[in-house]
Amino acid sequence: MTSVVAIGGGHGLAATLRALRRLPVEPTAVVSVADDGGSTGRLRADTDRAAPGDIRRCLLALAAQPNALTRAMDHRFTTGELEGHAFGNLLIAAMEESEGSLLVALEEISSLIPTVGRVLPATGEFVELVAELGDGRSIKGQVAIANSEGIRRVHLEPAAPACPSAIDAIGEADLILLSPGSLFTSVLAAAVVPGIPSAIATAPGRVVYVSNLHPQHRETEGFSLADHVGALVDHNIRVDAVIFDPQWIGQPDGLESATSGRPIPTAMPAMVGDDDGRIHQSDRLAEALRPLIAPAE
């Protein structure tokens, strides 16, 4: 069966995993842990830990069947000291502390749900996202960066190493997907973890970027499809092909100049957005990915 690794964070990675659930593949999510907003941000403020929020979304996206535990994991408290916390975030944090390892905690939770496929943190360490702006300023924190314009580059502090299991999964994958989502604060927040760019560069599987439907307000304001690809290339992320919805993001004009002399990604137009162009629709994205999947034996 085809092995697929999807890299990113937020709702875009979860949507990609739901699409992969419709295909004969073995999915693995490599998830950003740099989020610092909402329930996740409060947990990180109390204890230096890898962010659990995007991990929770991916676990639920890969859950074999909805059950009481999956419903509880998505439950958000509305009163008292726990107001605003998602139970799944608390569960991941508690399991990490009790088991002594985020990776072990995710394996245990995956067996309890259970999940179809694996969810791996891009790194198991506490990290913060840092952006360099075009005017020379530096901005720290995922939420602050998402509300900034003129982002040139992002990196993580400290430069914690990638999860070894994530590196192994990328190296063994038949297909590597850079999921849709906020370009700098979700996709690159996972992809720039030290060790991951080089793993992607040398991986035998094809690397496909699934583009956002629209530029992100402020973060990628005014970006064309070529600008999105160019930002990935500028961070030394290999891109062999790009799936995009021309109805919303436009045409792939300028891809040659965006890739700075590197091989030009294959442009793969596909109607993957919903009818309002708000989100990637899982069934449409699955059909766009189907030609990339080797036939099941």
Kindly list the distances between the CA atom of residue 65 and the CA atoms of 9, 70, 71, 113, in Å, as whole numbers in the listed order.
22, 8, 11, 8
Q: Please write the tens of the pLDDT for every residue from 62-83.
A: 999 999 999 999 999 988 888 8
C-alpha–C-alpha distance, residues 215 and 185, integer Å: 13
pTM value is: 0.94
Closest CA relative to residue 182, chosen from 228, 120, 122, 125: 228
Q: Please write the tens of the pLDDT for every residue from 117-166.
A: 999 999 999 999 999 999 999 999 999 999 999 999 999 999 999 999 99
- Do the beta carbons of residue 260 and residue 251 sit within 8 Å? no
Q: How many helices (H) and strands (E) does the chain have?
A: 13, 10
C-alpha–C-alpha distance, residues 198 and 8, integer Å: 16
Quick check: 33 pLDDT over 90?
yes
Quick check: 111 pLDDT over 80?
yes
For 19-102, list the strands marked E by DSSP: 25-31
C-alpha–C-alpha distance, residues 170 and 120, integer Å: 11
Q: What is the CA radius of gyration of the chain?
A: 18
Q: Please write the tens of the pLDDT for every residue from 181-205.
A: 999 999 999 999 999 999 999 999 9
Confidence of residue 297 (pLDDT cuts 50, 70, 90): very low
Quick check: 37 pLDDT over 80?
no
Ordered by where they begin, the domains of the chain are 2-37+118-292 (3.40.50.10680)
If you average pLDDT over residues 231-242, what whole number do you get? 97
